[in-house]
């Protein structure tokens, strides 16, 4: 199977986690695009969706799925999103598509985070994938300096502006032994909107597609 076929298998498995009659939280990326296309077939069984990016909102709307403002909803039973890396404690690096801040907001509201990935995303230690950090434009130089102090090598994502009008620094070379602590530490830097470590609020379910099918893994409570 190709990587894209594996992404599609994981994405379609997530349809089993949709709560009938609910609003569904929808992430961003090529794996999520397969999920959105699959969700179109269940349109009559959900109220609609909240989305973590303009791109996902457009794709949902093109399928006739109503996209709600997150501020207007009372509960979000399930959020489905991909990841760039996920470790064995279900902490993730996200933001390869640059949607990390809205993803983190929707994830924070949701009761259950269902992560959909092909098996190449599973790692023992996070950090081979450069960590995206969303930064207020005027703070790029200051934040880069601070990130270097933490041992990383930040690179501005050239030509990319987030849906929130900000910039992304991709931080290479970080050794992420304590994802919860590093997530909090980077978020303390003035000018950082948020970073792509999803450790304080990691995934609850991991649907991991590999050669032998889709593994359905649940996070153990004591993470
Ligand atoms: O965090 C994300 C976007 O900001 C994506 O979930 C992540 O980059 C994975 O993308 P893909 O499904 O295309 O491999």
Residue 81 CB partners (closer than 8 Å, separation 6+): 25, 26, 27, 28, 29, 32, 52, 94, 103, 107, 113, 114, 115, 116
Structural domain containing residue 181: 131-196
| Angle, helix 3-13 to helix 30-39, in steps of 10 degrees | 50
- SS3 per residue for 57-89: HHHHHHCCCCECCHHHCCCCCEEEECCCEECCC
**Site of tokens 């987030």:** 162
The pLDDT assigned to 220 comes to 82
Give me the half-sphere count of Cα atoms (radius 13 Å) on the Cβ side of residue 118.
Answer: 16
pTM over 0.95: yes
CATH number for the domain harbouring residue 38? 3.40.50.1360
Distance CA 80, CA 206 (A): 10
75 in any annotated domain: yes
Tell me the CATH number at 157. Answer: 3.30.70.260
Residue 205 corresponds to which tokens in the numbers above? 């379910």
Element (H, E) at 24: strand 23-26
Same domain, 120 and 23: yes
Given pLDDT bands bounded at 50, 70 and 90, which one contains residue 222?
A: low
Same domain membership, residue 153 and residue 111: no
Is 177 within a domain? Answer: yes
How far apart, in Å, are the Cα atoms of 91 and each of 84, 148, 171?
Answer: 11, 23, 17
Residues 97 and 30 placed together within one structural domain of the fold: yes
User: Residue 14 above 50 pLDDT?
Assistant: yes
14 burial level (CB within 10 Å; 0-12, 13-18, 19+): buried
Q: Answer whether residue 223 is part of any domain.
A: no
Cβ of 98 less than 6 Å from ligand 1: yes
Proportion of the chain above pLDDT 90, given as a percent: 97
DSSP string covering 97-149, please?
TS-HHHHHHHHHH-SEEEEEEEGGGB-SSS-SSPEEEEE-GGGHHHHHHHHHH
Do 143 and 43 share a structural domain? no
Residue 216 lies in a domain: no
141 marked as binding residue: no
pLDDT tens profile 25-76: 999 999 999 999 999 999 999 999 999 999 999 999 999 999 999 999 989 9
CB of 132 shorter than 6 A to ligand 1: no
H or E element, residue 30: helix 30-39
- Domain count within the chain: 2
pLDDT in tens, 160-178: 999 999 999 999 999 899 9
Ligand 1 in contact with 152 (CB < 6 A)? no
Question: Ligand 1 atom 9: the closest Cα is on which residue?
Answer: 83
The token duo for 2 is 């190709």
> Nearest 5°: phi and psi at 80?
-115, 125
**Ligand 1: nearest atom to the Cα of 29:** 13
Q: Is 179 in the pocket of ligand 1 (CB under 6 A)?
A: no
Indicate whether 218 belongs to any domain. Answer: no
- Ligand 1 center to residue 83 CA distance, Å? 5
Residues 56 and 16 in one domain: yes
Half-sphere exposure of 211 (CA within 13 A, CB side): 0
Which token pair is 159? 């030509």
Q: Is residue 33 part of a domain?
A: yes
Q: Is the pLDDT of residue 193 over 90?
A: yes
ipTM: 0.98
């Amino acid at each position: 199977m190709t990587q894209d076929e594996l992404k599609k298998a994981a994405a379609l498995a997530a349809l089993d986690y949709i709560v009938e009659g609910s609003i569904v939280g929808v992430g961003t990326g090529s794996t999520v695009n397969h999920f959105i296309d699959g969700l179109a077939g269940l349109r009559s069984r959900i109220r609609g969706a909240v989305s973590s990016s303009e791109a996902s909102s457009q794709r949902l709307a093109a399928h006739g799925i109503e996209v709600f403002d997150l501020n207007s909803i009372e509960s979000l039973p399930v959020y489905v999103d991909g990841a760039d890396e996920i470790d064995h404690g279900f902490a993730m690096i996200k933001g390869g598509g640059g949607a990390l801040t809205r993803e983190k907001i929707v994830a924070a509201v949701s009761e259950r985070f269902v992560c959909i990935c092909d098996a190449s995303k599973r790692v023992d230690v996070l950090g081979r994938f450069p960590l995206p950090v969303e930064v207020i434009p005027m703070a790029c130089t200051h934040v880069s300096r601070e990130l270097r102090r933490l041992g990383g090598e930040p690179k501005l994502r050239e030509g990319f502006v987030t849906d929130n009008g900000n910039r992304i620094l991709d931080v290479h070379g970080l050794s992420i032994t304590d994802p919860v602590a590093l997530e909090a530490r980077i978020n303390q830097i003035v000018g950082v909107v948020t970073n792509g470590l999803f450790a304080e609020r990691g995934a609850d379910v991991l649907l991991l597609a590999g050669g032998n099918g889709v593994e359905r893994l649940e996070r153990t409570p004591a993470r």
